[in-house]
Amino acid sequence: MKPIHVGICGVGTVGGGTATVLKRNCEEIARRAGRPIVVRAAASRDLVRARAALGEGVELLDDALAIARHPDIDIVVELIGGTTIAKDVVFAAIENGKHVVTANKKLIAEYGNEIFAKAQEKGVMVAFEAAVAGGIPVIKALREGLTANKIEWVAGIINGTSNFILTEMRDKGAAFADVLKEAQRLGYAEADPTFDIEGHDAAHKLTIMSAIAFGIPVQFDKAYLEGISKLDAADIKYAQELGYRIKLLGVTRRRPNGIELRVAPTLIPAKRLIANVDGVMNAVLVKGDAVGATMYYGPGAGAEPTASSVIADLVDITRLHTADPEHRVPHLAFQPSAMANLPILPIDEVETCYYLRLDAQDKAGVLADVTRLLADGGISVDAMLQKEVNDDGRADIIIITHLAIEKNVNAALARIEALDAINGQVVKLRLEHLNG
């Protein structure tokens, strides 16, 4: 049959990997898709590098918008990243009646609602498996594999840089700054790592998964973000002593009054499988009412792992591009006319368990005062640990709470920090048991 012609915008790591896998597995891919998938043209700022990656026979351009308007292109693959040129390319491709495959989580998380509406209007598909968790097919699982389920919650370790740093801090007892430098030396962290270590990358991915899980619009601007840059090695050590591990965890959960959407350093019981996902690997845990808990694990980045997801989208579109648009899987799993208008809960309304660390004077009555103030706020203590007293007559006190509402915890901590026996600010981390 006539090949499907693909135009790649951005021939960097993922673009090169996509071309490599398409060429290497061309026969297998054609058998699955029903026809060959061929790179017809590509746009890149570095045409020499692009030629080396793509080989001969591919038209090379220095204008990505020309790919979006190219008369011989059926599917535009956007691998530029960001929300400037990439956004223009995606909208131009849709306007010209072309399907789109993208690995751009920022674009989908921030402009997905507009993109999907325009795609529906034009009768084209926008596929974005590679935008979340690299080579892990979690979007496919949420959109199709778990379609019989009412999703209760999704929890994910979805940023490899942060996970590498936390793993090294735990294994080596090292400080955050030292491990960050090592991650940069190894190429796991950017020169400016803010996007990764402060939770932005994970929040983009979580926003997309939340929309698909609950049938709501993408709402990145309402996500709560808290990074790992202020995390102390002592807390990682204490958490481990108590049987927990700290991960930068994205959590989105259905509640009676709305949807939780948050990314923050979080304690997870060490016996949970997801707590043992280390290094740069990613994992997503999904709880459905019928199936229970399912976990999706694998590389969250890299040339060929991400290309695996890009090409899976190309195959899906190739199979369905001649189908009636009404028979295709909706972009966010639910029919556009059936999307829910559930609010995203502010962080003050979130209910979870907490890890608290206090620097307190070792004298009679301090623990009684602390537990009384917690109890006054309706916060019940699950476990408490006092560490050895230092030369200044002070000791760390670690408290694990039962379920409590964030605003009540914050109010209690403000009163605790005002006690003369408490030095500085109380360290507060959230804790998720993730019972399946």
Task: Look at strands 281-288 and 151-157 and give their pairing.
Answer: antiparallel
Q: How far apart are CA 2 and CA 28, in angstroms?
A: 16
Number of Cβ atoms within 10 Å of the Cβ of 59: 16
Please give the backbone phi and psi of residue 135, each rounded to the nearest 5 degrees, phi first: -85, 0
How far is residue 310 CA from its own chain's centroid? 17
205 is known as an active-site residue: yes
**Residue 421 per-residue DSSP state:** T
Note whether 246 and 267 are within 8 A (CB): yes
Q: How far apart are CA 318 and CA 35, in angstroms?
A: 8
Q: How far apart are CA 385 and CA 412, in angstroms?
A: 19
Tokens 């951005």 belong to: 10
- Residue 171 makes CB contacts below 8 A (sequence gap 6+) with none
Q: How far apart are CA 50 and CA 44, in angstroms?
A: 7
Token output for 190: 């950017």
Give me the count of residues in the chain. 436
How far is residue 263 CA from its own chain's centroid? 9
Q: How far apart are CA 23 and CA 18, in angstroms?
A: 9
Q: E strands of 10-122, at which residues?
A: 37-43, 59-61, 75-78, 99-102
Q: How far apart are CA 237 and CA 171, in angstroms?
A: 9
- Residue 257 makes CB contacts below 8 A (sequence gap 6+) with 343, 345, 349
Note whether 79 and 18 are within 8 A (CB): yes
SS3 of 48, please? helix
Catalytic residue from among 87, 105, 140, 205: 205
Enumerate the active-site residues.
205
